[in-house]
Structure 1
Amino acid sequence: MAKLMNSATQLNNSAPVHLLVPENTDSSGDKSFNSELFACASSSSQFKLIETGNISAFSGKYTMAYPTGPFETPCYKVGIAWADTLLGPYKKILQQDTGNVPCNPAAQAEVVYLLQSSQPGWPNYVNAMVQAPGVPSLVQYPAGTWYLYFAGYDPSVTASGGMFNPAVRQPYAMRLTFAIPLNTTVSATANTSLATWITAATN
C-alpha cells in the first residue's frame, strides 16, 4: 500500500492506495494463486503476504519488484508487477498452469515469478544457483546496466525441518535484460509479452 504525504512530516488526508495485493478466491474459484500461500501451498493456512515492494520507472511505465512467501523457506520468491502510473494498479505476470504445478486445485492462471526455487516445473526455477530469492530491488550500475539485487541462500545450505537459518542468508546480484516497448501500455499488454519486458541476462 502507499500513503500520500504533504511533506516529510505530514500525512495527506487521502486514503491509502492498494498497489498490489495477494489474490484471494472469488465466487468462481479463480485468482486464488496457491504460489502466494505463506505456508508453501499448505492447506493448513490460507494466509498470504506480498512484502517489500520496490518500484522503479522504465520507458514511462512502473515496475514493482516484490517477494512473496516466508523468507526462511524455499517458497520465498521474486515477482515483477507492472503499472502505467506510480500508484497502480500493478499487474502481475500470469501464465496458464495446465499441469497444476503450484498445487492449484485445477488448471488456472498462476503467477510467473522472475526467480523461484520451489517448483522445478515452473518458469525461472533457479534452485541450482540460489535458494529462496527475495527482497528484490532494481539498481542501475554502471550507467545503462541494470541489476536485480536480492537476498537468498546458497544451494549448499540445507533447510532443517523446511526452514533455513536466516543467519546464513547472503546478498546476490543478477544482470537484467530489458525489452520494454515505448508505444504501448501495461493495461493493453498480454501476459506473454509482459513476461519478456524484464528477464535475466544470458551473458
Structure 2
Amino acid sequence: MTMMTPNAAYAIPADPAAIATAATALQARGYHVRHVPDAAAARLAALELLPEGAEVFSASSVTTEAIGLTQEIDKSGRYTATRPQMMAMDPATQMSEMRRLGAAPQWVVGSVHALTCGGDLVIASASGSQLASMAYGAQNVLLIIGVQKIVPDLETAMRRVHEYSLPLEDARARSAYGMGSTVHKVLTLHGDIEEGRVRVVLVDEPLGY
C-alpha cells in the first residue's frame, strides 16, 4: 500500500480571529471553554477539571499523550483509570466487558481531529472505541484541542481528517502495530442537551494531529 503524505497546510495554527470565533461558537453550543497558551497550561487546566478519584477513560490521543495527561490518568493512581483495566482483559473472552468500560465512564478525555469556526467537533476513528462515550455514554467529556485543528467548515474538516490526520496516524500505527490505519467511523458533535457536559481546552501550541 502506498504511504500517504500529510498535507502540511493543516498543521498551521489558526489566526486569533478564527480562534475567538471558534471559542464563541463552542460556548454558544453549551460547551465550557478554556483558552490556554501551551502544553503545560493545557495539562494544568485538565488536571484542575478532573476530580481526584474519578473514573476516567483516556481515549487514544496523541494530544493527551504529548502533554503527559494520558500517563497521569493511567499511571498516577489518582484516578480510577479504565484503559489499563481494558488492556488487561482478553478480547476473545471479555469483549463485552471491555466495551462497557469504554462506553460509559464518568469522564472521557481525548481530542478531536477538527474544530470548525462554527463550533462543530469532528472525531475520526478506525475502531470507534472512543466515540460512544463522547457522544453520550460519559457523564463528562474533556477535549484538549490545539488551534491548528480549527478549520472554516465541515467540508474542510473532513478534508483535514483524510489529508492530514489519517496519513500521520497511519504512519504511527505502522510503526507501533505493524499495520496501517483507516477511517471507519466519524463522529460530529454539533452541541449537547446537557450544558457544560463537554469541556474544551483550546491550546495555542500545536498539539497532536
| Band of TM-score, shorter chain | under 0.3
The TM-score with structure 1 as length reference comes to 0.28
Structure with higher helix content: 2
Whichever of the two has the greater Rg, that structure is: 1
Please, what TM-score do these two structures have when normalized by structure 2?
0.27
- Higher relative CO (Cα under 8 Å, sequence separation at least 6) belongs to 2
